Amino acid sequence: MSDFHFIAIGGVGQSALAKILLCLGYNVSGSDIQESKYTKLVSSLGAKVYIGHSEGNINGCPKVVVSSAIKEDNPEIIKARELGLEIMHRSDCLKFISEQFGEFIGLAGTHGKTTTSGLLSFVLEMMDVKPSYAIGGIIPKLNINASAHKDSKYFIAELDESDGTIQKYSPTRLVINNLEADHLDYYKNGLDDIILTFEKLIDKMKSDSKIFINIDDLGCNKFLAQTKFKNFVTYAINENADYQARNIIFDELNSSFDVYKKEEFLGKVSLIIPGKHNVYNALAIVCVLDDLGFKFSEYAQHLTEFSGMGRRFQLVADINNIKIIDDYAHHPNEIKSTLSAIKDIKRRKIAIFQPHRYTRLKGLWNEFLESFDVVDELYVVETFNAGDKFDEDYNSKNFVQEIVNKGINAKYISGTIPEAGLKIATYLKSGDIVLTLGAGDITKIGEIISGLFAA
């Protein structure tokens, strides 16, 4: 009999939680509509995995773990309710896990959560500190998104604000990299509602907890002006802060900077991931590690070794002197940050953009129109609906028509992702740098294009 049963256990987030519970000694079962590397992983660790959803998959009296994507008509939810079983949202399961450890470090903010949580987990792994963690993406050098040790002192988690469940947690240390309007299907009043959610999160935190916050960010400063919480550690590039990055150098796809704690020079950080946003990400992690009592010399080399996260400026192909980079960016400011990393590269810059949700495209229409000034050519594929209904006004075709009027060299590419990949490949030239941008199945295009050139 299992202690926990996961519906859609093959999801990256669900499988991460299941893996941690298995490592902590709990009995786990789960189901998914198809077999995947994640279902195989948790199965290899001892989980009982069912392919397909059926009421017969519920055995005993487990806590049933679901994500927001699971509908009420799922036969396993119906059975769980009939049996009076506890149904936990995945955020409640993450909260339960976090309470098993002495130090809970949460990484939050509109952008950069996956990279910062992955970077901190990676560095502590390389230092052999044996952290436990749940990340919303794969750490390529480790090829995992979660790990747990019964004797771990530290638990690290990416805290997602998209549906408001972030306010359930009580981290002992919290990083807020930025706060901006997003998830407008949930946050009807944009940034004001997001700040309100973060205030509720902080109300759950103990008085001796700490918040590490980027004071270069306008949303973070608006939050600071409203909150009653006082135990902040600040970091910045442009402002005077407790920790500051100075003498920043960008060199094609690499970067470096000096870290100062007040006026004390801690050392130089070198990164093999580009962009100003990654300077902020790395600086945030330096703040946390220094505050935890680690010496700069203990972790600096591991910051240099970090190659990024899966789908976060991930080099997926370098063929025929065409570099293809895949990035999860699906918000205007994420796109600007990602594209700023290639601004000074002496190559023809190509962006392939897949809008994610019609509601996001509509709510941030003007911001998206201002996001692609850096590129030489922009190709926009069909919008990934993610459950949204088609919008006759705010869609990919109309977006291209309007952005062309702003002077951007853009083309609308209709059809499925494989069809779009075939079309776009005909436009590419040796020496191009190509970025695929979006949170949907746009990630497949890099492989499609590189396969065509390899043939």
- pLDDT tens for the chain, 455 residues long, are 579 999 999 988 899 999 999 999 999 999 999 999 899 999 999 999 999 999 999 988 899 999 888 899 999 999 999 999 999 999 999 999 999 999 999 999 988 899 999 999 999 999 999 999 998 888 888 888 899 988 899 999 999 898 888 999 999 999 999 999 888 788 888 899 999 999 999 998 998 999 999 999 999 999 999 998 989 999 999 989 999 999 999 887 889 999 999 999 999 999 988 889 999 999 999 999 999 999 999 999 999 999 888 788 888 888 999 999 999 999 998 999 899 889 888 899 999 999 999 999 999 999 999 999 999 999 999 999 988 999 999 999 999 999 999 999 999 999 999 999 999 999 999 999 999 999 999 999 999 998 888 76
d(Cα 187, Cα 359) in Å, to the nearest integer? Answer: 12
Cα angle at 21 between 17 and 24, to 5 degrees?
A: 140
Helix (H, G, I), strand (E, B), or coil: what is residue 157? strand
- 116 and 251 within one domain: yes
What pLDDT does residue 310 have?
78
Residue 96 maps to a domain: no
Residue 252 maps to a domain: yes
- 371 and 276 within one domain: no
Which tokens is 140 given? 């390529």
What pLDDT does residue 124 have?
97
Range of the domain at 355: 314-454
- 265 and 156 within one domain: yes
Which tokens is 390 given? 């088609």
Burial label for 365, CB within 10 Å (0-12, 13-18, 19+), is middle
Question: Nearest CA to 274 among 220, 238, 312?
Answer: 312
d(Cα 72, Cα 68) in Å, to the nearest integer? Answer: 10
- 126 and 72 within one domain: no
Last-in-domain residue among 89, 115, 132: 89
Strand runs labelled E in 103-242: 103-108, 132-139, 144-147, 154-158, 173-176, 210-214, 232-236
Can you say whether residue 58 is alpha, beta or left, with left for phi > 0 and alpha for psi between -120 and 50 degrees? beta
Question: Half-sphere exposure of 409 toward its Cβ, with a 13 Å CA cutoff?
Answer: 9
Which run of H or E residues covers position 271?
Answer: strand 264-271
Sign for the pseudo-dihedral over CA of 102, 103, 106, 107: negative
Say which CATH number the domain at 408 has: 3.90.190.20
d(Cα 303, Cα 245) in Å, to the nearest integer? Answer: 14
Residue 133 maps to a domain: yes
- 276 and 156 within one domain: yes
What amino acid is encoded at 335 in this protein?
A: I
- 240 and 281 within one domain: yes
Last-in-domain residue among 244, 271, 305: 305
- 248 and 143 within one domain: yes
d(Cα 174, Cα 194) in Å, to the nearest integer? Answer: 16
What pLDDT does residue 433 have?
95
Helix (H, G, I), strand (E, B), or coil: what is residue 37? helix
Burial label for 67, CB within 10 Å (0-12, 13-18, 19+), is middle
Residue 95 maps to a domain: no
- 363 and 298 within one domain: no
Residue 94 maps to a domain: no
Can you say whether residue 25 is alpha, beta or left, with left for phi > 0 and alpha for psi between -120 and 50 degrees? left
Q: Extract long-range pairs of 427-430: CB within 8 Å, 24+ residues apart.
A: 427/350, 427/377, 427/379, 428/322, 428/350, 429/322, 429/348, 430/320, 430/321, 430/322
- 273 and 130 within one domain: yes
Contact 5, 18 (CB under 8 A): no
d(Cα 372, Cα 365) in Å, to the nearest integer? Answer: 13
- 319 and 275 within one domain: no
- 146 and 225 within one domain: yes
Number of domains in the chain: 3
Residues sharing a CB contact under 8 Å with residue 142, sequence separation 6 or more, in sequence order = 122, 125
What amino acid is encoded at 2 in this protein?
A: S
Say which CATH number the domain at 11 has: 3.40.50.720
d(Cα 306, Cα 414) in Å, to the nearest integer? Answer: 37
d(Cα 169, Cα 369) in Å, to the nearest integer? Answer: 36
Say which CATH number the domain at 216 has: 3.40.1190.10
What pLDDT does residue 103 have?
96
The reported pTM is 0.81
What pLDDT does residue 442 have?
95
Question: Residue 164's beta-bridge partner residues?
Answer: none
CB atoms inside a 10 Å sphere around CB 25: 10
Last-in-domain residue among 288, 305, 322: 305
d(Cα 47, Cα 32) in Å, to the nearest integer? Answer: 13
- 363 and 225 within one domain: no
